[in-house]
């Protein structure tokens, strides 16, 4: 289940994969308050975010949304074209490697701040973290994390004598 969730959806294994993934999600993902030790999933940022994510999952109080596994997903669905920012996992079935590559390569047109190539867990303290456009301006982490808070100033001192 690491980072949505390191596996593929090819037709031969699709049904078994989706079944195992659904069972793992049910067993390991616990929705709740962050102060509870068993909690793995907290609320979304606000009610509007919860409404955007709701695609068959169960919504609890406020902006809590149960992690949701979507099947029968096509590439024209909004969840394949926009960042969701919530516990929504769409799985796209494919039959050939060429079809899988075409689906994956279509995502190259996305404007994003971070990309993981053959890696689902790309956050690390030494790398910058952040998005683009309304996905989150600015960066945090690494030596570039404070750049958004700094103003570069040029100062020229003339007439100084040693």
State the first-to-last Cα distance of the chain, in angstroms, to the nearest integer: 65
Q: What is the pLDDT of residues 114-148, one digit of tens each?
A: 777 777 788 887 888 887 777 666 777 788 878 87
Task: Tell me what pLDDT residue 17 has.
Answer: 92
Integer angstrom CA distances of residue 81 from 77, 90, 124:
7, 11, 26
Task: Tell me what pLDDT residue 24 has.
Answer: 96
Domain extents for the chain? 13-112
Instruction: Return the residue matching tokens 């029968």.
Output: 72
Cross-strand bridge partners of residue 10: 94
Out of 15-19, 37-41, 68-72, 102-106, least confident range: 102-106
Fold of 13-112: Aldehyde Dehydrogenase; Chain A, domain 2 (3.40.309)
Write the CB contacts of 142 (distance below 8 Å, at least 6 apart in sequence): 125, 126, 127, 128
Task: Tell me what pLDDT residue 65 has.
Answer: 92
């Amino acid at each position: 289940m690491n980072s949505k969730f390191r596996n593929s959806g090819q037709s031969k294994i699709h049904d078994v994969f989706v079944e195992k993934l659904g069972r793992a999600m049910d067993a390991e993902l616990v929705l709740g308050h962050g102060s509870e030790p068993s909690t793995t999933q907290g609320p979304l940022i606000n009610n509007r975010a919860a409404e955007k994510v709701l695609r068959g999952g169960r919504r609890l109080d406020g902006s809590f949304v149960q992690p949701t596994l979507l099947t029968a997903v096509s590439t024209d669905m909004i969840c394949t074209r926009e960042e969701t920012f919530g516990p929504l996992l769409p799985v796209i079935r494919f039959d050939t490697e060429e079809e899988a590559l075409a689906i994956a390569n279509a995502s190259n047109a996305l404007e994003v701040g971070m990309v993981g190539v053959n890696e689902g867990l790309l956050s690390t303290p030494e790398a910058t973290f952040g998005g683009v456009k309304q996905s989150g301006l600015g960066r945090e982490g690494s030596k570039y994390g404070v750049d958004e808070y700094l103003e570069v100033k040029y100062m020229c001192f003339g007439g100084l004598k040693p």
